[in-house]
């Protein structure tokens, strides 16, 4: 089963908390051009939920399970990478999460209502912010 088919299956099974969060991780990765740091993912998911007018917190254990699930299914790659701290000389190791096949994931989400709504609302927010300056 290819990535497209696996994502279609996840989108159809969004009833469980794990598959719902896994689908949202994929949506956020698509918005950020296929990559995101693990330490930044909870904040990015919260931005997604707020834009979609869903409020709540992120269960970090479930998030790690969703990441492991997506990696095991061959949809994402997780690499340990060194990165710097803003305004500091400190370096630390973080997980870089990448879509394995951006084009296939993008194709799978072309008709996804949540993704389309998020992109539209995000674009509108950017336009408003630019117009205010």
pLDDT of res. 131: 84
pLDDT of res. 31: 92
pLDDT of res. 12: 82
pLDDT of res. 133: 55
Assign domain 3-132 to a CATH class: mainly alpha
For residue 28, give Cα distances in angstroms to 23, 34, 92, 109, 123: 9, 8, 23, 11, 14
Helix segments in 32-112, DSSP class H: 41-51, 60-72, 102-108
pLDDT of res. 40: 95
**Number of other residues whose CB lies within 10 A of the CB of residue 46:** 15
C-alpha 89: how far from its chain's center? 28
Domains of the chain by residue range: 3-132
Which residues, 6+ apart, have CB-to-CB distance to 14 below 8 Å?
Answer: 20, 23
Low-confidence ranges of the chain (pLDDT < 50): none
What's the pTM value of the predicted model, to 2 decimals?
0.88
Residue with tokens 């989400």, as numbered in its chain = 109
pLDDT single digits (tens) 52-63? 888 778 899 999
């Amino acid at each position: 089963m290819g990535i497209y088919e696996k994502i279609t299956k996840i989108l159809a099974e969004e009833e469980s908390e794990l598959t719902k969060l896994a689908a949202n991780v994929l949506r956020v990765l698509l918005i950020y051009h296929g990559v995101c740091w693990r330490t930044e993912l909870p904040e990015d998911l919260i931005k997604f939920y707020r834009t979609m007018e869903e409020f709540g917190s992120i269960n970090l254990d479930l998030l790690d399970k969703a990441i492991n699930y997506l990696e095991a299914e061959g949809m994402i790659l997780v690499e340990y990478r060194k990165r710097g701290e803003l305004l500091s000389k400190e370096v630390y190791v973080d997980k870089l999460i990448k879509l394995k096949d951006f084009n296939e994931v993008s194709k799978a989400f072309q008709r996804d209502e949540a993704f389309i709504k998020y992109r539209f609302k995000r674009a509108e927010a950017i336009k408003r912010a630019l117009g205010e300056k």
